[in-house]
């Protein structure tokens, strides 16, 4: 590779010069378009390689109106002051991974940005200006702002339950998942079951509570109007909430349906410290099925949420809209499944998987149903 001392200013013109052609031809081979003889094509390829040419994404985007980038906005739920650094929400990471893969498969990159309460709006705008389409995770951008974004680029809302006209929606069946977990606990014969809610502003957490209530109601049991305690979806929050729950009651509940796995882990640890054992004294279920769930003692019975597939699904919908701007925005709800381990009181042997829902429920608002992928095995 020839050394170019100036080190910069290496545009399509330099390549064209080097190859002795016009920039139009260079542009053509850049896109693999035909209309270029094999000979010159080779010559141009050689020049590009020799010069170490890297086309400018900005110029390309400006001229073609296609950036080749999909944006992903998620809330920075992590407490910045948490020194441990481990309280992170694996959820976002998994979604990002899924989205990255799906995007890359189509030659697109992913631009990520976490909103941190303040300045969420301007950040969102700056991201929107750099991408072809946008995935907006629940609780990251205010509704009014989402409207604005969706007005500019195809947008999909991820989780949160709120649908906006003109945007796709991807989420999971929170209600069904929580209902299944609660039912399972009921089948164990437990009747005094409490619910540990998530952050007040989390629609998903509320949906899970709704599922909890449905199950209790179906069993003819009385259900409270609201969760007895709330946590912030972190381990620490789960421990604190469990503490509160124990204080609130004369005697511990026989079982607790916890809003997510991280809190369940924290709650379990707190119980252990208190001398109460899981599941003998208090049974527990979680939600998400993070990696940790399998490894805690006892292994956590929980509701699996296909986090990575959520990311994939978002990108898939977006690519579809990008491909056909007339496409009707869709709503996709992925199924959850109950993963039975030991924190619910089940024996350790046959780790059983109960598929909660048969397949994806896909509601094309006015359009034809989409091809649902096979459910997770």
Partner DNA sequence: CTGTTAGCGCCTTCAT
Partner DNA sequence: ATGAAGGCGCTAACAG
Neighbouring-strand partners of residue 361:
333
143-172: which residues touch a second copy (CB under 8 A)?
147-149, 151-152
Between residues 63 and 272, which has the closer beta carbon with respect to DNA?
A: 63
Q: What is the DSSP letter of 162?
A: -
> Using the rule CB under 8 A, which residue among 16, 127, 315, 338 binds a second copy?
127
Q: How far apart are the first and last CA of the chain?
A: 50
Burial category of 158 from C-beta neighbours within 10 Å (exposed 0-12, middle 13-18, buried 19 and up): buried
From the list a second copy, DNA, none, pick the one residue 347 interacts with, judged by a Cβ distance below 5 to 8 Å according to partner type. Answer: none
From the list a second copy, DNA, none, pick the one residue 12 interacts with, judged by a Cβ distance below 5 to 8 Å according to partner type. Answer: DNA
Shortest Cβ 143–DNA spacing (Å): 24
From edge to edge, which strands make up the β-sheet containing 283-285?
A: 229-230, 193-197, 255-258, 283-285
Burial string for 6-15 (b: 16+ CB within 10 Å, else e) reads eeeebebebb
240-279: which residues touch DNA (CB under 7 A)?
none
Between residues 218 and 354, which has the closer beta carbon with respect to a second copy?
A: 354
SS3 of 197, please? strand
CA angle 235, 238, 243 (to 5 degrees): 130
Q: Are 234 and 266 in contact (CB under 8 A)?
A: yes
34 binds DNA, rule: CB under 7 A? yes
136 binds DNA, rule: CB under 7 A? no
Between residues 30 and 90, which has the closer beta carbon with respect to DNA?
A: 30
Q: Are 321 and 133 in contact (CB under 8 A)?
A: yes
Tell me how far apart the alpha carbons of residues 342 and 300 are, in angstroms, rounded to a whole number: 6
Mark the segment that binds a second copy (CB under 8 A) among 21-29, 118-126, 203-211, 361-369: 118-126
Between residues 55 and 161, which has the closer beta carbon with respect to a second copy?
A: 55
Structure tokens at 370: 């989409």
**Distance from the Cα of residue 15 to its chain's centroid:** 42
100 binds a second copy, rule: CB under 8 A? yes
Binding residues for a second copy, per CB under 8 A? 1, 7, 10, 52, 54-62, 67-69, 76, 78, 80, 83, 85-86, 88, 90, 93-94, 96-97, 100-101, 104, 107, 109-114, 116, 123, 125-131, 147-149, 151-152, 265, 291-292, 294-297, 307-308, 376-377
Binding residues for DNA, per CB under 7 A? 9, 11-13, 20-25, 27-28, 30-31, 34-37, 39-41, 55-56, 59-60, 62-66
């Amino acid at each position: 590779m020839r050394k170019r001392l100036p080190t910069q200013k290496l545009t399509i013109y330099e390549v064209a010069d080097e190859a002795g052609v016009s920039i139009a031809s260079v542009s053509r081979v850049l896109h693999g378009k035909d209309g270029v003889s094999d000979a010159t094509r080779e010559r141009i390829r050689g020049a590009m390689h020799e010069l170490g040419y890297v086309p400018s994404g900005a110029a390309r985007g400006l001229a073609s109106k296609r950036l080749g980038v999909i944006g992903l906005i998620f809330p920075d739920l992590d407490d910045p002051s948490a020194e441990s650094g481990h309280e992170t929400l694996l959820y976002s990471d998994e979604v990002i991974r899924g989205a990255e893969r799906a995007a890359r498969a189509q030659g697109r990159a992913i631009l990520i940005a976490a909103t941190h309460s303040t300045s969420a709006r301007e950040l969102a705008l700056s991201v929107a200006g750099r991408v072809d389409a946008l995935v907006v995770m629940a609780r990251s951008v205010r509704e009014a702002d989402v409207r604005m974004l969706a007005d500019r680029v195809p947008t999909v809302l991820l989780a949160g339950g709120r649908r906006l006209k003109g945007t796709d929606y991807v989420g999971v069946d929170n209600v069904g998942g929580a209902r299944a977990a609660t039912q399972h606990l009921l089948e164990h014969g437990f009747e005094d079951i409490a619910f540990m809610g998530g952050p007040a502003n989390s629609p998903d957490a509320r949906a899970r509570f709704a599922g909890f209530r449905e199950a209790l109601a179906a069993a003819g049991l009385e259900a409270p109007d609201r969760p007895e305690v709330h946590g912030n979806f972190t381990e620490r929050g789960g421990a604190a909430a469990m503490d509160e729950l124990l204080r609130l009651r004369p005697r511990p509940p026989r079982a607790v349906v916890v809003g997510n796995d991280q809190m369940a882990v924290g709650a379990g640890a707190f119980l252990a410290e208190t001398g109460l054992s899981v599941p003998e004294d208090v049974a527990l279920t979680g939600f998400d099925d993070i990696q940790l769930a399998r490894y805690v003692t006892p292994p956590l019975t929980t509701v699996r949420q296909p986090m990575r597939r959520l990311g994939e699904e978002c990108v898939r919908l977006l690519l579809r809209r990008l491909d056909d701007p007339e496409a009707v925005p869709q709503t996709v709800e992925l199924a959850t499944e109950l993963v039975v381990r030991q924190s619910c009181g089940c024996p350790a042997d046959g780790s059983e998987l109960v598929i909660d829902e048969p397949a994806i429920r896909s509601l094309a608002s006015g359009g034809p149903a989409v091809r649902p992928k096979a459910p997770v095995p």
